[in-house]
Chains A and B, each alone.
Chain A
Amino acid sequence: GAGVSQSPSNKVTEKGKDVELRCDPISGHTALYWYRQSLGQGLEFLIYFQGNSAPDKSGLPSDRFSAERTGGSVSTLTIQRTQQEDSAVYLCASSLYSGGNNEQFFGPGTRLTVL
C-alpha cells in the first residue's frame, strides 16, 4: 500500500509568517510522529500521537509550534511567526501502534525555508 505522504514537499516563507505542514500516515497506523532534520543536527523528535491519548509534546521547541491529528489519521504541524532557525526538513513517521517491536515508517519530508 501507499507509504507516508507529506505536503508540500517544499515550502519557502518569509520570516513572521505562519506555515502548515501536512502528513498522511499509512492507513491503519495508530501512531504518528513528527521529527525535524536540521543541517548538522540530525533528527530531532518534536511530537507523537497515539490513538486518542494525549500527545507527547515534549520535543516541541517553542509555543510557536503546534500539531493536531484529526480523526486519528491526517496530522498538521503548524509553525506560527516563523523564524530563520525554523528552516529544516520536517519528517513525519507512522507505526502500526506504539511500543514493542514497531517500525516507524518515514515520509519524504517537507523542506521548509524561512527567508
Chain B
Amino acid sequence: AQSVSQHNHHVILSEAASLELGCNYSYGGTVNLFWYVQYPGQHLQLLLKYFSGDPLVKGIKGFEAEFIKSKFSFNLRKPSVQWSDTAEYFCSVKSGGGATNKLIFGTGTLLAVQP
C-alpha cells in the first residue's frame, strides 16, 4: 500500500531563513506528487505538483520541490520564508497508473514563521 512520511511535524523559523520540509513515499510504480498548503482558517490548496518531466518543480509563492526517484523523496524548499508562509503543509502521492485517483497524504508539517 502507498504511504507518505513527513519527517518534520512542527517547524519554527525566523523570517528570511531557508526552508526544507522532508517527504518520502512508498510506492514502486509511477507516481504523481503534490504539496498542499492550508493557511490558518483557509481551505487546503495546491502549492505545486509533479507529474513528469523536470524533477525540479516550481510552485506558487516561491516554493519548489525536487523529485528524487532513487530516494522516493519529494522535499519542499523555499530559500527565504516570510511570516505569511505560516501554515500547515501536506505532501501527497497519487498512483500514476490511472487505476485510482485518490490522494494519499502525509500527516502534515506545521510551519510557524516568526517575524
Contacts and interface: CB of A to CB of B under 8 A. Distances in A.
Contacts, number: 55
Interface string B41-60: 00111100101000000000
A108 B104 CA distance: 19
B101 A106 contact: no
Interface residues of B, number: 19
Contacts of B90: 42-43
B14 to A, nearest CB: 26
24 contacts: A3-B43, A33-B101, A33-B102, A35-B103, A35-B105, A41-B107, A42-B90, A42-B105, A42-B106, A42-B107, A43-B90, A48-B100, A48-B101, A56-B100, A58-B100, A58-B102, A93-B44, A101-B49, A102-B101, A103-B46, A103-B49, A104-B46, A106-B43, A106-B44
Interface of A: 3-4, 31, 33, 35, 40-45, 48, 50, 56, 58-59, 91, 93, 95, 98-104, 106-109
